[in-house]
Amino acid sequence: MSTTNFCPMCNNLLYHKEDRENRILFNVCKYCHYKVEADNYCVYRMEIQHQPNERMQTLNDAATNPNLPRTKDIPCPKCNHKEVALLPSTSRREVGTNQSFACCNRNCGHRWTE
C-alpha cells in the first residue's frame, strides 16, 4: 500500500527509517546512505497504528462503532431492534458470500450471518 521509492543516486530501493526522537520518518538508501524525509508520513502512521488486534477491537465494538455502515431495513432476529450494523467480513474467502450483522441494541449485541 505504501509507495515504493527508489534512491535517486544509485536507484536502489529506499527503506523506511524512523527517527524516534523527532518522530520523523526517513527514506534511506542502504547503499549510498542517501537520506530524505519521507513525505508519505500519513501512510507510515497508519502502518504503525494498525495493530493485529485492531480488527477484533472493531468487531467487539460493532454495536457502538459509528464507522460501521448500518441498516434499518433488517431487524435483529433476537430483540427486533430496528438498527443493525453491517460487519466487515472476517476473511477474504467470505467476501461476496455472507454478510454478518450486529445488533445495535447495546443490551442485546446479537450477531448473525446471512
Task: Please name which of 99, 36, 107, 93 lies closest in space to residue 73, comparing C-alpha atoms.
Answer: 99
Least spacing, CB of residue 78 vs Zn ion, in Å? 5
- From start to end of 1-114, where are the E strands? 14-19, 24-29, 35-37, 70-71, 84-87, 100-103, 111-113
Contact set with Zn ion (CB under 5 A): 7, 9-10, 29, 31-32, 34, 76, 78-79, 81, 103, 105, 108, 110
Minimum separation from the CB atom of position 108 to Zn ion (A):
3
Of 39 and 54, which has the nearer Cβ to Zn ion?
39
Q: For residues 56 and 79, which CB has a smaller minimum distance to Zn ion in the complex?
A: 79
**Of 81 and 87, CB closest to Zn ion:** 81
Shortest distance (Å) from residue 39 CB to Zn ion: 18
CA dihedral 59, 62, 65, 66 (to 10 degrees): 120
Q: How far is the CB of 63 from Zn ion (least distance, A)?
A: 9
